[in-house]
Amino acid sequence: MKQLLCIVFTFGLWVALTWTPGVADVFVGVVVALLVATLLSHIYPDNPHKALDPRRVFWFLVYIPYFLFYCVRANLDVAYRVLHPDVPIRPGIVKVRTKLESEMAKTFLANSITLTPGTLTVDIDGSDLYIHWINVVGEGVEEHSALIVRRFEKLLRRIFE
Amino acid sequence: MNETAAQIIIGVGLAFDLFGCIGLVRLPDVYNRVQAATKCVTLGTCFILLGTAVYGMSAAMGIKAMLCAVFILLTSPVAAHAIARGAYKSGVRLWEGSVVDLYGEEKHPSRPPDERTEPAQAGETLGAGRESG
Protein backbone atom coordinates (compact mmCIF):
# COMPACT_ATOMS: atom_id res chain seq x y z
CA MET A 1 0.00 0.00 0.00
CA LYS A 2 2.73 2.38 1.00
CA GLN A 3 4.79 1.34 -2.00
CA LEU A 4 1.87 1.84 -4.35
CA LEU A 5 1.36 5.35 -3.03
CA CYS A 6 5.06 6.06 -3.40
CA ILE A 7 4.99 4.88 -7.02
CA VAL A 8 1.96 7.05 -7.85
CA PHE A 9 3.46 10.10 -6.13
CA THR A 10 6.91 9.74 -7.71
CA PHE A 11 5.39 9.13 -11.13
CA GLY A 12 3.14 12.20 -10.81
CA LEU A 13 6.14 14.31 -9.83
CA TRP A 14 8.13 12.98 -12.79
CA VAL A 15 5.31 13.75 -15.23
CA ALA A 16 5.05 17.28 -13.81
CA LEU A 17 8.80 17.79 -14.19
CA THR A 18 8.88 16.55 -17.79
CA TRP A 19 5.70 18.38 -18.82
CA THR A 20 4.55 17.89 -21.58
CA PRO A 21 5.39 14.19 -21.39
CA GLY A 22 5.98 11.97 -24.41
CA VAL A 23 5.94 8.18 -24.60
CA ALA A 24 9.64 7.89 -23.72
CA ASP A 25 9.19 10.18 -20.69
CA VAL A 26 6.32 8.10 -19.35
CA PHE A 27 8.30 4.88 -19.83
CA VAL A 28 11.35 6.20 -18.01
CA GLY A 29 9.03 7.63 -15.35
CA VAL A 30 7.53 4.22 -14.62
CA VAL A 31 10.99 2.66 -14.28
CA VAL A 32 12.25 5.46 -12.02
CA ALA A 33 9.11 5.39 -9.88
CA LEU A 34 9.45 1.62 -9.38
CA LEU A 35 13.11 2.00 -8.47
CA VAL A 36 12.45 4.82 -6.00
CA ALA A 37 9.53 2.97 -4.42
CA THR A 38 11.64 -0.17 -3.95
CA LEU A 39 14.52 1.69 -2.36
CA LEU A 40 12.83 4.45 -0.39
CA SER A 41 9.20 3.63 0.37
CA HIS A 42 10.08 2.84 4.01
CA ILE A 43 10.73 6.54 4.72
CA TYR A 44 7.24 7.51 3.61
CA PRO A 45 4.80 8.63 6.34
CA ASP A 46 2.95 5.75 7.95
CA ASN A 47 -0.56 7.15 7.80
CA PRO A 48 -0.95 9.03 4.52
CA HIS A 49 -4.77 8.99 4.79
CA LYS A 50 -4.37 11.96 7.14
CA ALA A 51 -3.49 14.08 4.11
CA LEU A 52 -7.03 13.58 2.75
CA ASP A 53 -8.75 15.01 5.82
CA PRO A 54 -10.28 18.32 4.58
CA ARG A 55 -9.65 20.03 7.92
CA ARG A 56 -5.93 19.29 7.74
CA VAL A 57 -5.80 20.47 4.11
CA PHE A 58 -7.63 23.65 5.10
CA TRP A 59 -5.17 24.45 7.91
CA PHE A 60 -2.27 23.64 5.63
CA LEU A 61 -3.59 26.17 3.12
CA VAL A 62 -3.85 28.70 5.96
CA TYR A 63 -0.31 27.84 7.02
CA ILE A 64 1.25 28.64 3.62
CA PRO A 65 0.52 32.43 3.52
CA TYR A 66 1.15 32.66 7.29
CA PHE A 67 4.56 31.06 6.79
CA LEU A 68 5.36 33.17 3.71
CA PHE A 69 4.59 36.34 5.67
CA TYR A 70 7.13 35.40 8.37
CA CYS A 71 9.57 34.26 5.71
CA VAL A 72 9.50 37.66 3.98
CA ARG A 73 9.77 39.41 7.34
CA ALA A 74 12.80 37.26 8.16
CA ASN A 75 14.45 38.30 4.95
CA LEU A 76 13.88 42.00 5.54
CA ASP A 77 15.21 41.54 9.08
CA VAL A 78 18.40 39.81 7.91
CA ALA A 79 18.83 42.34 5.10
CA TYR A 80 18.58 45.16 7.66
CA ARG A 81 21.18 43.59 9.95
CA VAL A 82 23.54 42.85 7.11
CA LEU A 83 23.35 46.30 5.53
CA HIS A 84 23.51 48.27 8.80
CA PRO A 85 27.03 49.70 9.22
CA ASP A 86 27.40 48.29 12.76
CA VAL A 87 26.03 44.78 12.03
CA PRO A 88 23.60 44.84 15.00
CA ILE A 89 23.59 41.20 16.06
CA ARG A 90 23.46 39.52 19.45
CA PRO A 91 23.83 35.86 18.57
CA GLY A 92 23.58 32.80 20.79
CA ILE A 93 22.23 29.26 20.94
CA VAL A 94 19.06 28.91 23.03
CA LYS A 95 16.88 25.97 23.91
CA VAL A 96 13.14 25.86 23.25
CA ARG A 97 10.59 23.19 24.02
CA THR A 98 7.78 22.10 21.74
CA LYS A 99 4.58 20.26 22.56
CA LEU A 100 4.37 18.70 19.11
CA GLU A 101 4.85 14.94 19.06
CA SER A 102 4.80 13.51 15.56
CA GLU A 103 8.09 13.44 13.66
CA MET A 104 6.54 15.09 10.61
CA ALA A 105 5.23 18.02 12.65
CA LYS A 106 8.61 18.49 14.32
CA THR A 107 10.37 18.44 10.96
CA PHE A 108 8.04 21.12 9.64
CA LEU A 109 8.50 23.15 12.82
CA ALA A 110 12.29 22.96 12.58
CA ASN A 111 12.24 23.94 8.90
CA SER A 112 9.84 26.81 9.54
CA ILE A 113 12.02 28.06 12.38
CA THR A 114 15.07 27.97 10.14
CA LEU A 115 13.37 30.07 7.48
CA THR A 116 11.91 32.69 9.83
CA PRO A 117 13.27 35.71 11.69
CA GLY A 118 16.84 35.23 12.81
CA THR A 119 16.52 31.65 13.98
CA LEU A 120 18.24 28.45 12.85
CA THR A 121 17.61 24.97 14.20
CA VAL A 122 20.94 23.46 15.24
CA ASP A 123 19.75 20.23 16.83
CA ILE A 124 16.61 18.42 17.93
CA ASP A 125 16.56 16.16 20.95
CA GLY A 126 13.14 14.74 21.75
CA SER A 127 10.97 17.76 22.47
CA ASP A 128 13.93 20.12 22.89
CA LEU A 129 15.12 22.20 19.97
CA TYR A 130 18.44 24.03 20.07
CA ILE A 131 18.12 27.24 18.10
CA HIS A 132 20.84 29.58 16.95
CA TRP A 133 19.30 33.03 17.27
CA ILE A 134 20.87 36.03 15.57
CA ASN A 135 19.40 38.49 18.08
CA VAL A 136 18.68 36.86 21.45
CA VAL A 137 15.77 38.50 23.31
CA GLY A 138 14.45 37.54 26.73
CA GLU A 139 15.70 34.80 29.01
CA GLY A 140 14.88 31.22 29.88
CA VAL A 141 13.43 28.29 28.01
CA GLU A 142 9.80 29.35 28.54
CA GLU A 143 10.20 32.86 27.20
CA HIS A 144 12.25 31.74 24.22
CA SER A 145 9.72 29.02 23.42
CA ALA A 146 6.93 31.58 23.55
CA LEU A 147 8.80 33.85 21.16
CA ILE A 148 10.00 31.29 18.65
CA VAL A 149 7.80 28.20 18.68
CA ARG A 150 4.26 29.28 19.59
CA ARG A 151 3.45 31.11 16.41
CA PHE A 152 3.74 27.90 14.39
CA GLU A 153 2.81 25.29 16.95
CA LYS A 154 -0.96 25.78 16.98
CA LEU A 155 -1.32 25.55 13.21
CA LEU A 156 1.08 22.64 12.90
CA ARG A 157 -0.80 20.68 15.54
CA ARG A 158 -4.02 21.12 13.61
CA ILE A 159 -2.32 19.96 10.42
CA PHE A 160 -0.32 16.99 11.61
CA GLU A 161 -1.71 15.68 14.91
CA MET B 1 2.94 43.52 -19.22
CA ASN B 2 4.02 40.04 -18.22
CA GLU B 3 7.58 40.80 -19.09
CA THR B 4 7.67 43.89 -16.89
CA ALA B 5 6.11 42.03 -13.96
CA ALA B 6 8.56 39.15 -14.42
CA GLN B 7 11.51 41.51 -14.54
CA ILE B 8 10.41 43.25 -11.34
CA ILE B 9 9.97 39.93 -9.53
CA ILE B 10 13.34 38.65 -10.74
CA GLY B 11 14.91 41.96 -9.68
CA VAL B 12 13.53 41.59 -6.15
CA GLY B 13 14.84 38.02 -6.06
CA LEU B 14 18.29 39.15 -7.14
CA ALA B 15 18.29 41.86 -4.47
CA PHE B 16 17.57 39.25 -1.76
CA ASP B 17 20.27 36.97 -3.15
CA LEU B 18 22.67 39.90 -3.01
CA PHE B 19 21.77 40.62 0.65
CA GLY B 20 22.45 36.98 1.41
CA CYS B 21 25.88 37.20 -0.17
CA ILE B 22 26.70 40.44 1.65
CA GLY B 23 25.67 38.68 4.86
CA LEU B 24 28.01 35.83 4.03
CA VAL B 25 30.89 38.30 3.90
CA ARG B 26 29.98 40.58 6.80
CA LEU B 27 28.65 38.32 9.54
CA PRO B 28 31.18 36.99 12.00
CA ASP B 29 30.82 33.20 12.33
CA VAL B 30 29.58 30.07 10.58
CA TYR B 31 26.20 30.03 12.31
CA ASN B 32 25.32 33.64 11.50
CA ARG B 33 26.51 33.21 7.94
CA VAL B 34 24.42 30.11 7.42
CA GLN B 35 21.42 32.12 8.62
CA ALA B 36 21.97 34.86 6.06
CA ALA B 37 22.72 32.39 3.31
CA THR B 38 19.66 30.23 3.97
CA LYS B 39 17.01 32.86 4.48
CA CYS B 40 17.88 35.42 1.86
CA VAL B 41 19.01 33.00 -0.79
CA THR B 42 15.98 30.74 -0.33
CA LEU B 43 13.48 33.55 -0.77
CA GLY B 44 15.56 35.24 -3.46
CA THR B 45 15.76 32.09 -5.53
CA CYS B 46 12.04 31.42 -5.06
CA PHE B 47 11.33 34.93 -6.35
CA ILE B 48 13.55 34.34 -9.38
CA LEU B 49 11.72 31.08 -10.10
CA LEU B 50 8.36 32.83 -9.70
CA GLY B 51 9.54 35.50 -12.13
CA THR B 52 10.56 32.80 -14.59
CA ALA B 53 7.11 31.22 -14.30
CA VAL B 54 5.40 34.58 -14.94
CA TYR B 55 7.73 35.31 -17.84
CA GLY B 56 7.19 31.97 -19.55
CA MET B 57 3.41 32.00 -19.10
CA SER B 58 3.29 28.35 -20.16
CA ALA B 59 2.30 25.30 -18.14
CA ALA B 60 5.57 23.57 -18.98
CA MET B 61 7.69 26.34 -17.51
CA GLY B 62 5.38 27.29 -14.66
CA ILE B 63 5.03 23.77 -13.25
CA LYS B 64 8.77 23.19 -13.31
CA ALA B 65 9.59 26.54 -11.74
CA MET B 66 7.05 26.07 -8.95
CA LEU B 67 8.23 22.52 -8.25
CA CYS B 68 11.80 23.79 -7.99
CA ALA B 69 10.64 26.49 -5.56
CA VAL B 70 8.95 23.85 -3.38
CA PHE B 71 12.08 21.68 -3.43
CA ILE B 72 14.28 24.61 -2.44
CA LEU B 73 11.89 25.58 0.38
CA LEU B 74 11.99 22.01 1.71
CA THR B 75 15.67 21.23 1.29
CA SER B 76 17.54 24.44 2.10
CA PRO B 77 16.54 24.57 5.80
CA VAL B 78 17.52 20.91 6.12
CA ALA B 79 20.90 21.66 4.56
CA ALA B 80 21.38 24.67 6.84
CA HIS B 81 20.51 22.56 9.87
CA ALA B 82 22.99 19.88 8.77
CA ILE B 83 25.76 22.43 8.23
CA ALA B 84 25.18 24.15 11.59
CA ARG B 85 24.99 20.87 13.50
CA GLY B 86 28.00 19.44 11.70
CA ALA B 87 29.98 22.59 12.36
CA TYR B 88 29.18 22.49 16.07
CA LYS B 89 29.99 18.79 16.39
CA SER B 90 33.34 19.24 14.66
CA GLY B 91 34.29 22.03 17.04
CA VAL B 92 33.67 25.23 15.10
CA ARG B 93 33.41 28.01 17.67
CA LEU B 94 30.80 30.68 18.11
CA TRP B 95 31.72 34.31 17.62
CA GLU B 96 33.16 35.84 20.81
CA GLY B 97 30.24 38.28 21.02
CA SER B 98 27.68 35.48 21.36
CA VAL B 99 25.59 35.90 24.49
CA VAL B 100 24.47 32.37 25.29
CA ASP B 101 25.31 28.81 24.26
CA LEU B 102 22.88 26.38 25.86
CA TYR B 103 23.67 23.76 23.25
CA GLY B 104 27.28 23.64 24.39
CA GLU B 105 26.36 23.71 28.07
CA GLU B 106 23.88 20.87 27.84
CA LYS B 107 25.11 18.70 24.99
CA HIS B 108 28.86 19.19 25.05
CA PRO B 109 29.61 19.77 28.75
CA SER B 110 33.09 18.29 28.33
CA ARG B 111 34.10 21.17 26.11
CA PRO B 112 35.36 24.01 28.33
CA PRO B 113 33.45 27.30 27.87
CA ASP B 114 36.47 29.19 26.59
CA GLU B 115 36.79 26.68 23.76
CA ARG B 116 33.22 27.22 22.63
CA THR B 117 33.63 30.79 21.43
CA GLU B 118 36.37 32.28 19.35
CA PRO B 119 39.05 34.21 21.20
CA ALA B 120 38.91 37.94 20.51
CA GLN B 121 41.69 38.96 18.20
CA ALA B 122 42.55 41.77 15.82
CA GLY B 123 41.55 41.40 12.20
CA GLU B 124 38.38 39.40 12.91
CA THR B 125 35.88 39.20 10.10
CA LEU B 126 33.39 41.55 11.70
CA GLY B 127 36.03 44.22 12.23
CA ALA B 128 37.21 43.83 8.67
CA GLY B 129 33.62 44.03 7.44
CA ARG B 130 33.07 47.19 9.42
CA GLU B 131 36.07 48.91 7.96
CA SER B 132 35.13 48.15 4.39
CA GLY B 133 31.43 48.77 4.97
Confidence of residue B112 (pLDDT cuts 50, 70, 90): low
* Model pLDDT, residue A54: 86
Residue B42: cis peptide before it, omega within 30 degrees of 0: no
The mean per-residue pLDDT over the stretch A4-25 comes to: 86
Question: Which residues 78-97 of A are in CB contact (within 8 Å) with B?
Answer: 78-79, 81-83, 85-87, 89-95
Query: CA B33 → CA A122, B2, B21, distances in Å?
Result: 13, 35, 9
A34: number of CA atoms within 13 Å, CB side? 6
pLDDT single digits (tens) A64-87: 899 888 888 888 888 888 888 888
Between residues 36 and 65 of chain B, which touch chain A (CB distance below 8 Å)?
Answer: 36, 38-40, 42-44, 59-60, 63-64
Encode pLDDT of A85-116 as tens digits: 888 888 888 888 888 888 888 888 888 888 87
Nearest CB to B32 within list A13, A112, A134 = A134
Instruction: Give Cβ neighbours of residue A19 (< 8 Å, ≥ 6 apart).
Output: B59, B60, B63, B64
Neighbours of A82 (CB within 10 A): 25
| Contact status of B92 with chain A (Cβ, < 8 Å) | no
Cα torsion A79, A81, A87, A92 to 10°: value is -120
pLDDT band at B120 (very low <50, low <70, confident <90, very high): low
ipTM strictly over 0.85?
A: no
Query: How far does B92 lie from chain A, in Å, by closest CA?
Result: 13
Residues B50-65: tens digit of each pLDDT? 999 998 878 788 888 9
In three-state form (DSSP H/G/I as H, E/B as E, the rest C), the secondary structure along A57-117 is: HHHHHHHHHHHHHHHHHHHHHHHHHHHCCCCCCECEEEEEECCCCCHHHHHHHHHHHHHCC
Which residue type occupies B9?
I
12-71 of A, contacting B, C-beta below 8 A:
13, 16-17, 19-20, 71
CA pair distance B63, A91, nearest whole angstrom: 39
Q: For A33-48, write each residue's pLDDT tens digit.
A: 999 888 887 777 777 7
